[in-house]
Amino acid sequence: MSKPRVIVVGGGVIGICCAYYLSKRNATVVVLERDAFGKGASYGNAGVIAAGHPPMNKPDRVKYALTKVFDSTTPLYIAPRFDPALAAWLWRFSANCTAQKLETNMSALAPLGHTTLELFAQLITEEELDCGYQASGYYEVYRTEQGAAHARQDVTLMCANGFGAAMLTGEEVGARLASLKNSVTGGVYFPDAATCDPYRFVMEVAERVRRAGGRLEVGQAVTEVEGGAHPAVRVATGERLEADAVVLATGAYSLQLARQLGCRLPIQPGKGYHRDLDFGKDNAPPLEATCVLGETSVFCTPMSGRLRLAGTMEFSGLNHRMRPSRLAQLTTAADQYLSGIGASRITSEWCGLRPCTPDGLPVVGRLPGQTKVFAATGHAMTGLTLGPVTGSLVADLVTGATPANDDTALAPARF
C-alpha cells in the first residue's frame, strides 16, 4: 500500500506531535505553518507536563472566579465588551462547572495523562531530545486555608485517577524549597509531572519529523479547506494542495477553517502571559523546583538558567495585545511567595492564546460528516502535556489503526 499523504495545518506543539507520530506510522507528512514553528501558544508556556491535573471546569473555584471576572487583578479576567460568542461560551462553560462533569472529564483525561507520560519518556530517550526535560515533579504551594482546601480537592481527584499527589506541611515544603517565604503555609508535591523548555521541545520534535522525511513549510497560511473523499487545502498564495488526509491543528485560530466544513467549534482564546526573570551571570534562579502559587495560579518554572513566571487567563479576543498590569501581576504574585524576586532583571515578556473549549476537553477526531479531515485543538492549559498522546491518537485515526486511547469524549461532533 502506498504511503498516505497527510497535510497538517499549524506548527505548534499539537501539529508537530501529530506530524511526528504520523511519520512514525509511515505517512508522508507536510506541515503548513503560516508564521514560524512553535511561536504560537506553544512558545512561552510554563513548560509543565502536568498529566492528570484537573481541567478548568471546577464547580466551586471557577464559579467563584466568574463572579469576579471584570476585576483585572484576579487570575481570570474578561475585558468588558459586546461579544455574543464569548457570552454564549461563558454560559456553556459555567454550565459545565459541576462535580459530575469534573468527574467525567477526569475519567476521559486520566488515561490520556498516563499515556502521555509514557510517550514523553519514550520520546526523550529514543530521540534524545535536548529540551531541558526533567522528570522531577512540581509543587503547588499555598498561603491560605482556601488555597489548602482547593489543593486537597485536586489531590483527592488525582489520587483517585492513579496520579501521585502528596500534601506537605509548611515546614516540609519549606525544607524542600528554601526560597519560599514564611507566608507559605503548606503545599502539594506532584511526583509524576515533568518540566521542559516548551519551545525547545517543539523545535526538537520538528527536527525529528524533518529527519524522518517530513516537509515543514513556513509562511504557508491556509485559507481554505476542502473535505470529502479527496481533501485539499488552499494557501494564501492561491496554490491548492491535495492530500489523503488533512489535520487542523491551528490552536486558538481553529474556528474559521472548521466552519468552512460546517463545523462550529466553540473555542475561545484564553490569553496567558509570561515574564522571564534573569538573576545575573553565574546566578541560578532562586527556586529549586517548579512551583505553582496556589491562590494566584502563577507557575514559576526554572528554565534554561532563568525563572519563568507564567499564568493568568484573560478573555479579550483573538489578539496579542499585552496588558502591562497583567504582566506586573506575575511578579507581584511571585514576590508574595518567594524571596529574592526583586534582585532580577526581566528578559522576556510574552502572551499566548490557549485554545479553550467550554467543556474543558480537547477536540480530537474527524470533523462531523468528514472521513478525511481531522481536528486536533482545544487543549487549553494542557497542550504541552497532551501533545504526544494527541499526536499518537491522531496518527491512529488517520491511518485507520484502533486508537490506543478511547477518543469518544474528544470527538468534534459533541458540539
Ligand X SMILES: Cc1cc2nc3c(=O)[nH]c(=O)nc-3n(C[C@H](O)[C@H](O)[C@H](O)COP(=O)(O)OP(=O)(O)OC[C@H]3O[C@@H](n4cnc5c(N)ncnc54)[C@H](O)[C@@H]3O)c2cc1C
Contact positions vs ligand X (CB under 6 A): 9-15, 32-35, 39-42, 45-48, 50, 221-222, 249-253, 272-274, 299, 310-311, 352, 354-355, 377, 379-385
Smallest gap from Cβ 78 to ligand X, in A, equals 16
- Minimum distance between the CB of residue 232 and ligand X, rounded to whole angstroms? 14
Dihedrals phi, psi of 225, to nearest 5 degrees: -130, 135
Strand-pair partners of 234: 224, 240
Residue in the block written with cell 489535520: 247
Q: How far is the CB of 58 from ligand X (least distance, A)?
A: 17
200 vs 354, beta carbon nearer ligand X: 354
Nearer to ligand X, 174 or 251 (CB): 251
40 or 187, CB closer to ligand X? 40
With vertex at residue 374, the alpha carbon angle to CA 373 and CA 377, rounded to the nearest 5 degrees, is: 145
Q: In angstroms, what is the minimal distance from the CB of 290 to ligand X? A: 9
Q: At closest approach, how far in Å is the CB of 268 from ligand X?
A: 13
On whether the CB atoms of residues 17 and 205 are closer than 8 A, the answer is yes
Of residues 273 and 337, the one with the C-beta less far from ligand X: 273
C-alpha cell at 202: 517543539
Closest listed residue to residue 291, CA positions, set 177, 166, 385: 177
Length of the chain, in residues:
415
Q: Which of 136, 19, 109 lies closest to 410 in space, CA to CA?
A: 109
Residue whose CB is less far from ligand X, 185 or 222: 222
Q: Tell me the residue type at 325.
A: S
4 vs 15 by CB, closer to ligand X: 15
**Residues pairing with 246 in the sheet:** 7, 373
Question: In whole angstroms, what is the distance from residue 363 CA to residue 89 CA?
Answer: 15
How far is Cα 238 from Cα 217, in angstroms, rounded to an integer? 15
Specify the 3-state DSSP secondary structure of 278.
Answer: strand
- Confirm if 158 and 309 have CB atoms less than 8 A apart: no
Q: Which is nearer to ligand X, 172 or 349 (CB)?
A: 349
Task: Scan for cell 521541545, then name that residue.
Answer: 201
Min separation Cβ 101 and ligand X, Å = 20
Minimum gap (Å) between residue 150 Cβ and ligand X: 18
- The residue among 175 and 321 lying less far from ligand X, judged by its C-beta, is 321
Which of residues 180 and 257 has its CB atom nearest to ligand X in the complex? Answer: 257
Residue 328 Cβ, how far from ligand X at the closest point, in Å?
Answer: 15
Residue in the block written with cell 481541567 = 55
Q: Which helix (H) or strand (E) holds 246?
A: strand 245-248
State the minimum distance, in angstroms, from the CB of residue 74 to ligand X. 16
Give me the long-range contacts of 332-335 (CB less than 8 A, separation at least 24). Answer: 333/293, 333/296, 333/298, 333/309, 334/277, 334/293, 334/298, 334/300, 334/307, 334/309
77 forms beta bridges with 314
